[in-house]
Amino acid sequence: MKSFVLPNKSTVLLLAPYCFSHTHPWHSPGRSRKLDQIEEALRHLGFSIYRLSTAPLRTASEIPGLYPLCSSHNPFVRILQILHSTLCFVSKLFSLPFTRYPALWVYNCRLNEALSVFIILFFLPRIPLFLELEDLPYARPSNSGIRGLLDLVCLQLLTARAKHVFVVSEEVGRSFQRLTPFFASSFSVLPPTLSDTFLSLISERSRPFNAKPINILYAGGYSPEKGVTTLLHAFFRLPLDRFQLTLVGPVPESFSTLKSSHPNLVIAGHVSDFILYSHYCSADVVVSPHEFGPRSSLIFPLKLLEYIASGSFLLTTPMAGLDLFGLPSACFFSSIDELHLKLLNAHSLWLENSKSLNEVSLNVRQSFSRDHMIQLIGSVMSPHT
């Protein structure tokens, strides 16, 4: 078992599917960035962090400050590894003298995370439990069906024990209340935050549509529900000499082969946060083609906040929760044809709606700050740790 030492000051055990490899199928840019933000806020409040990872990473044991609970991609073997590793972890933790109980913070409590939590709660029944919900069971194809039902049962059981529940948006919070009807306590909305570097760069960006070609940007994940193929189909019908599309993030190899036949397609791949923010500064149009439907109320993508705050012309599917921002109807599309038409007329649509879009952008930059996250987490956790 990997050795570890808990410091004397307050410690948070942060349980999540940590994945630091940008080429690994378990890697999620949004999850990684939100976890970074949570860790930064907790450290600012004086907590030390010990990470427990439920992602199947064979090299995780080499990462300082992280305790891997599993390494197998086989779901049944992975469950057995999580159970065994958590028992080993708790037996070591239980033998250590500490003046304060650590707090347990769980990111998106699925079956894998719940199994570990049940063991920790059994041996440390007084440990404060905090749940952070970015999306809910049945939100994605990967946690639907029987898996989604198991995830939901685990979530319902753990909400009865949780000291507090954080949700990513009001819409997700309302869906959470419908899925967990016996959860009597209130929840707190803990949205992603905009970094100071992002805000500094965006405040100095030039006005969109001041150069040619028109630069379209997508930044995020590439799983099927992200809808990137919808964007590609719409983009390939645009005039080559007038438009350019930049793809940022863990772009699949199959997309990379498209570049030879589409010279106006730029594949940036994984980039640093600073480079990502620089792409926002040079984008004329940002597109969020995330598939929408009955599951939309269970998700709120992180990148939408950056898209709205970027000052670029936003085109997005009508994801649940976007009514909060007051975006004009010109920003929404529901089909490939509608997206293609709005991309084709993006400049004129921007001119017609630039005043309201600038107001929305400024409001988001002011409302989703790092200080707000720190104050909220501090006010909730201080009485319990």
Does the residue 22 lie in any domain? Answer: yes
What contacts 365, CB < 8 A, 6 or more positions away? 194, 199, 202, 203, 309
Pairing of strands 129-133, 11-16: unpaired
d(CA 247, CA 250): 9
**Tokens 């004009």 -> residue:** 328
- The boundaries of the domain holding residue 260 are 196-367
Classify the C-alpha dihedral 322-323-328-333 as positive or negative.
Answer: positive
**Residues 251 and 303 reside in one and the same domain:** yes
**Residues 178 and 207 reside in one and the same domain:** no
d(CA 86, CA 67): 10
**Residues 236 and 150 reside in one and the same domain:** no
Does the residue 2 lie in any domain? Answer: no
**Residues 179 and 204 reside in one and the same domain:** no
Q: Please name which of 287, 295, 282 lies closest in space to residue 338, comparing C-alpha atoms.
A: 287
Report the amino acid identity of residue 263: P
- Which region, left, alpha or beta, applies to residue 9 given φ > 0 means left and ψ of -120 to 50 means alpha? beta
**Residues 17 and 137 reside in one and the same domain:** yes
The two tokens of residue 160 are 């009865």
Does the residue 125 lie in any domain? Answer: yes
Does the residue 6 lie in any domain? Answer: no
What is the arrangement of strands in the sheet containing 164-167, beginning at the earlier edge strand?
66-68, 48-53, 11-16, 103-107, 129-133, 164-167, 188-189
The pLDDT, as a whole number, for residue 360 is 93
Number of Cβ within a 10 Å radius of residue 193: 24
Does the residue 4 lie in any domain? Answer: no
What is the Cα gyration radius of the chain?
22
Report the amino acid identity of residue 193: T
Q: Are 288 and 316 in contact (CB under 8 A)?
A: yes
Burial call 157-180: b when 16+ CB within 10 Å, e when fewer: ebbeebbbbbbbbbbbbebbeebb
Report the amino acid identity of residue 294: P
**Cα dihedral 68/74/76/79 (nearest 10):** 10
Please state the length of the chain.
385
**Residues 23 and 83 reside in one and the same domain:** yes
**Residues 277 and 325 reside in one and the same domain:** yes
pTM summary value: 0.75
The pLDDT, as a whole number, for residue 8 is 42
Does the residue 306 lie in any domain? Answer: yes
**Residues 244 and 214 reside in one and the same domain:** yes
User: Number of structural domains, the chain?
Assistant: 2
Does the residue 5 lie in any domain? Answer: no
**Residues 169 and 248 reside in one and the same domain:** no
**Residues 256 and 357 reside in one and the same domain:** yes
**Residues 311 and 181 reside in one and the same domain:** no
Q: Are 37 and 193 in contact (CB under 8 A)?
A: yes
d(CA 194, CA 148): 31
Digit-by-digit pLDDT tens for the chain (385 residues) are 344 444 445 889 999 998 877 667 777 777 888 898 899 999 999 888 989 999 987 765 556 678 899 989 898 999 999 999 999 998 887 666 554 568 999 998 889 999 999 999 998 888 899 999 887 877 766 667 788 888 889 888 999 889 999 988 887 888 888 888 767 667 888 888 888 899 999 999 999 999 899 999 999 888 888 889 999 999 999 998 999 999 998 888 888 778 778 889 999 988 988 999 999 999 999 999 988 765 555 566 667 889 999 999 999 998 777 877 889 999 999 999 999 999 999 999 999 999 999 999 998 888 887 888 898 899 888 755 5
Does the residue 1 lie in any domain? Answer: no
**Beta-bridge partners for 153:** none
Q: Are 196 and 370 in contact (CB under 8 A)?
A: yes
CATH number at residue 29: 3.40.50.2000
**Residues 153 and 294 reside in one and the same domain:** no
